[in-house]
Structure 1
Amino acid sequence: MTESARGTSTSSAGAWDPVVLWSKPESEREGTPLLVLFHGYMANEEDLMGLTDHLPAEFTVASLRAPQAVGPGFSWFPLSREADYSVERVVESVAAVSRWLNEVRGRHSSVSILGFSQGMAVATSLLRHRPADFACVVGLSGFAVPSEGHEFFRDDEAAAAPVEFFWGRDQEDQVILPEMIEFTHAWLVKHTKLTKILYSNMFHSINLRELAHVREFLTMTVLGRR
């Protein structure tokens, strides 16, 4: 069962009042570990909530809607091939998510984040901005963005205290550009405690085997430490 908190998704991430789906009613969230989900390009907050049934029941799961309406869904920031893409647009979106996290994190024993596709770019960017704030990070069939020297990304701090990171993908995924995969792999190896698993015949998606590994990863890295 999910509970929805309806805000207003606008084209400006700076004025973003997020639409959030919750896996537990508000009365059951206090003191639980929080897992925040970030959907992919042209999806919405409902897209990843089906994962909840495959994740540890101890978690409260919150799935956010991205701020920019695109096609049938929403986007966190423009694609890199689009004229209006910039690192600043990424920072604007991720900073808005960070402000929302400040409002909710105090009720939870820990915060972990999971992103699929473009949502993985949000998750990695949050980690790079707040390298000490997350119990673990899960990235599925996605990427990290080059920082281009922007001060928002505190990569040196991330490297100094690396966080447990699960990265699952299929080498036959044709959606994420090879140069983005190369950058992402290099960044994760240097800045996180990386668990990387490749899945065949999954392409740009999530499969049950991967979800079983994510469940195990969350159990060991978060629940095992409580």
Structure 2
Amino acid sequence: MSESPKVLWSRPESERAGTPLLVLFHGYGADEADLFGLAGQLPAEFTVASVQAPLQAGPGRAWFPLRTDLSYTLDSVTDAAAGVEAWLDSVRGAHTSVTLFGFSQGMSMATTLLRHRPADYAAVVGLSGFVVEVDGHPYFDDAATAAAKPEVFWGRDQADPVIPASAVEYTNTWLRAHTELTKVLYTGIWHGINAQEMAHVGEFLRHKVLN
């Protein structure tokens, strides 16, 4: 992803300076418009930027191939993250902080960025998603992440039919070992987001980022 990604912004450029930035990463098969509708349910102090994933996936987009796809590699994950990071580095100077918000596969992107440069981010919100298993890949600085203990909100439904149990188990273990974790379980949202969860996300962001 060499060129800057397509981004939807909640404010015009002239109104972004000095605001905290909240970056949204959509799920597999969706696009940058998918989560952008949530911007109005988030604390108004944030400038929200919803980023388009680099790969085509059916009618939508993907950050990297699915684990079940033969073209999946950890390099496909880190290549996507490096592209987003380059874009972030071009805009972060205007903002007081950067927080990452990912849904489903987008949570993998948010946590991958966190694991590369944990000091860069105020917090991460991950909904109905997972953390990638890395097996010692050099891009992921898990020692620095564990030392920083970043604030992470993880919301999900135990009946989520999309994320495999093994990925949930790995994610739970990794988050508990490396982050200051706020974990909330919901019923009836399956692989989705509801108003109660968004209210909890708003509280988390106010308490952990805006205070």
> TM over 0.5, yes or no?
yes
The corresponding residue for 1:30 is 17
The corresponding residue for 1:184 is 171
Query: Cα offset for 1:17?
Result: 2.6
Higher helix share: 2
Amino acid at match of 1:222: V
Query: Cα offset for 1:222?
Result: 1.0
Structure 2 unmatched runs, 5+: none
Separation in structure 1 between the aligned mates of residue 137 and residue 148 of structure 2, nearest angstrom: 20
Separation in structure 1 between the aligned mates of residue 149 and residue 50 of structure 2, nearest angstrom: 25
Give RMSD over aligned pairs. Answer: 0.6
Q: 2:43 aligns with which of 56, 60, 63?
A: 56
Q: Secondary structure at the match of 1:222?
A: helix
Structure 1 unmatched runs, 5+: 1-12
| 2:57 pairs with 1:73 | no
Identity of aligned residues (%): 58
Separation in structure 1 between the aligned mates of residue 96 and residue 4 of structure 2, nearest angstrom: 24
Deviation readout 1:111-138 (Å, 9 max, x if unpaired)? 0000000000000100000111111100
Separation in structure 1 between the aligned mates of residue 78 and residue 184 of structure 2, nearest angstrom: 28
| 2:156 pairs with 1:169 | yes
* TM-score normalized by the length of structure 2: 0.99
Q: Secondary structure at the match of 2:100?
A: strand
Separation in structure 2 between the aligned mates of residue 26 and residue 142 of structure 1, nearest angstrom: 30
Separation in structure 2 between the aligned mates of residue 84 and residue 177 of structure 1, nearest angstrom: 19
Q: How does 1:100-119 map to 2 (within 5 A)?
A: 100-119=87-106
Separation in structure 2 between the aligned mates of residue 17 and residue 133 of structure 1, nearest angstrom: 19
Query: Cα offset for 1:70?
Result: 1.1
Query: Cα offset for 1:41?
Result: 0.3
The corresponding residue for 2:79 is 92
Deviation readout 1:177-196 (Å, 9 max, x if unpaired)? 00000000000000000000
